[in-house]
Amino acid sequence: MVTAGGTREPIDPVRFLGNRSSGKMGNALAHVALEAGADVTLITAAEPPGTTPGLDVVRVETAQEMGDAVRRSVRGARILIMAAAVADYRPASVSPVKLKKRRGTWSLELEPTEDILASLRKATDRRELFVVGFAAETSDLLENAQAKLRQKGLDLIVLNDVSRPDIAMGADENEVTIISSDGVVDVIPRTTKDAVAAGILGVIRPRVS
């Protein structure tokens, strides 16, 4: 199971809070896993890949919808790759009508979204699920990624430096560092996202076989 894209948290019927994630990395992971013979569910808040026979696509928009979809689909899954950029916050209230422009400043109250991985630990037996997270960082790269690995109880985390324009969110290429609780497992130099996906799956495969 793969998650992809950046969630959109509505402010009113026409506006939302979002991020720059394109879903390309998640799409690549789903495509490469499918080509390798896996049964793949792609839970995405972005545009999924074109017609791909055998790929089970679940479309979502918000962090809550993605969390619900993950929990519905995770039973029976062996691997979960959380490549999506899930919003950390959402508007505390959503206007049912379009908010009109007005003079002066405008404050928007935010509240935390659900931690999908934390909710998953309560809902299912994590011993049967190999979980891979992503850390899109701009500073203190290794330290932040390792902290997330520990806090989320992940088996692996994939780190990429989104401050670099050549591998930032939305780019066609990526460069990642794969980390386990023992430290850096592999570094995949800048290449296409399909090649990065193949490299990530190559690290995962022997750990679940």
Distance between CA atoms of residues 120 and 152, nearest Å = 10
* CA distance readout (Å), 20 to 26, 45, 46, 84, 187: 14, 12, 11, 11, 24
Taking alpha carbons only, the member of 41, 66, 67 closest to residue 52 is: 41
How long a stretch of residues is the chain?
209
Instruction: Mark whether 174 is an active-site residue.
Output: no
Distance between CA atoms of residues 208 and 77, nearest Å = 12
Q: Judge contact between 85 and 5, C-beta under 8 A.
A: yes
Q: What does residue 123 show for φ and ψ, rounded to 5 degrees?
A: -95, -20
Per DSSP, which regions of the chain are E strands? 2-4, 9-10, 16-17, 41-44, 56-59, 79-82, 89-91, 110-112, 130-137, 156-161, 173-180, 183-192
> What is the bridge-based pairing of β-strands 173-180 and 183-192?
antiparallel
Please identify which of the residues 19, 27, 160, 174 carries the catalytic annotation: 19
Distance between CA atoms of residues 121 and 103, nearest Å = 46
Please give the positions annotated as active site.
19
